[in-house]
Amino acid sequence: MKTKRTIHQVFAIAKTDFLGIARNRTAIFFTLLFPLFFLIIIGFTFGTQGAGETSRIRVGVVNLDREETIVNGTVFQNSTIGDAFLQALRNANFTVYEYVEYGDKETNGTAAYDISRRKIKIAVIIPANFTESLSFQYVDSSGRPIPTKAYLILYTDPSDPTGSLIAQQSILGFISGFISHYQEVVISQIPETFQKYVKVLANPITVSTNEADVSGRRLRWIDYMVPGTLGLVLLWSGLNHASVAIANERTRGTFQRIVIAPVSPATVLAGKFLSCLTIVYLSSAIMLVSGLLFFQVNLYWNLPVIVLSIFLGALSAIGIGLIISSLAKNVEAANA
């Protein structure tokens, strides 16, 4: 009989707490809807990264290959390979901006000006003799071609090391592919009997990368984001509501009534814990369903494990919150 009365008291305290939150629109927003909005904003901002990710990289190109250059004492102007490089960048889905000069950060309309204002992530300088070097236009006195190595200059934004590193690695990967295509074109022009040997010398090692069969599913970025955000919700919701559970009773003047009522302190704490746990489960359910509907997340849908994990996470957060609430004199102190 005593156990039944205690259970009834626990549920009564939990119901009173929960109804108090339900009547407060601001509390409902920060309890249930704010984690949802947070997930949607993060998901749509970062969760769509995939095959078209290079289109996000803004590249500035200064194609000096179109300018005149002196080769073997003669003025040349040939931008065939430089233009092909520029077009290949566009075909690779980079967002390309063209400039006539690199300039400096104070001169509007230059690559340096735009990279300093983060309009572009990286600048590529194609030299004036790019085509002439790669087409073996330089010859010695006897008319034999002089091997001349072409070069490219990259400028990155030091104020954004992460973004610059991503852009740099993407451009270097593109350049590597462009070089491979150039080698194939050049090798095709030599006698066929030597082509196989030259191909091996040009690319002696082939590296193959494969994904190990670990989970049986290909996980995306958002698949990691939803469980991570769920962990934040467990900590935030549990700690936030539990920390003001008892302090709020002191502020409203109802704490003394609870003390003199025929209810044990353990029953009061159990009721407060149950109301906070209900809120945490509601927030978690909304986040999981939203992640499934909006982003089709791939989760390990073992419901007993999910329920137990949420309970253990909420238990630690709510427990700390109740300790804070018991020590705080008012709501302001608990929130601090």
pLDDT tens sequence across 74-100: 777 888 899 999 999 999 989 999 999
Q: What pLDDT is recorded for position 111? A: 94
Beta-ladder partners of 97: 60
pLDDT of residue 156: 93
Domain locations in the chain as residue ranges: 2-47+220-335, 52-202
Q: What is the pLDDT of residues 133-162, one digit of tens each?
A: 888 888 887 878 888 888 999 999 988 888
CA angle 193, 199, 202 (to 5 degrees): 140
- The pLDDT tens digits of the residues spanning 18-33 come to 777 777 777 667 666 7
At residue 47, the pLDDT reads 54
Mean pLDDT of 284-296: 79
E-assigned strands of 9-135?
Answer: 58-63, 69-71, 74-76, 95-99, 122-126
User: What does the CA dihedral 235, 236, 240, 241 come to, rounded to 10 degrees?
Assistant: -80
**Integer Cα distance of 141 and 72 in angstroms:** 9
Specify the pLDDT at position 51: 42
Mean of per-residue pLDDT scores for the chain: 80
- The predicted model gives 319-326 an average pLDDT of 77
Span between the terminal Cα atoms of the chain, in Å: 41
Assign a CATH topology to domain 52-202.
Answer: abc type-2 transporter like fold (3.40.1710)
Let me know if 231 is exposed, middle or buried by CB neighbors in 10 A (0-12, 13-18, 19+): middle
At residue 50, the pLDDT reads 47
Query: Is the pLDDT reported for residue 189 higher than 80?
Result: yes
At 86 the pLDDT is: 93
Using the predicted structure, report yes or no on whether residue 49 has a pLDDT greater than 70.
no
User: Taking 60 as the threshold, does the pLDDT of residue 235 lie above it?
Assistant: yes
pTM: 0.55
> Which tokens go with 321?
């919150």
Q: What percent of the chain has pLDDT over 90?
A: 21
Residue pLDDT, tens place only, 247-286: 776 766 666 666 566 777 777 778 878 888 888 888 888 8
Those residues whose C-beta lies under 8 Å from the C-beta of residue 319, and which sit 6 or more positions away, are 242, 273
| pLDDT value for 178 | 92
Residue 271 pLDDT: 81
Q: 62 versus 238: which is more confidently predicted? A: 62
Region 208-223 average pLDDT: 67
Among 200, 207, 223, which Cα is nearest to 296's?
Answer: 223
Check whether 327 has a pLDDT greater than 90.
no
* Surface-to-core class of residue 318, CB atoms within 10 Å of its CB (0-12 exposed, 13-18 middle, 19+ buried): buried
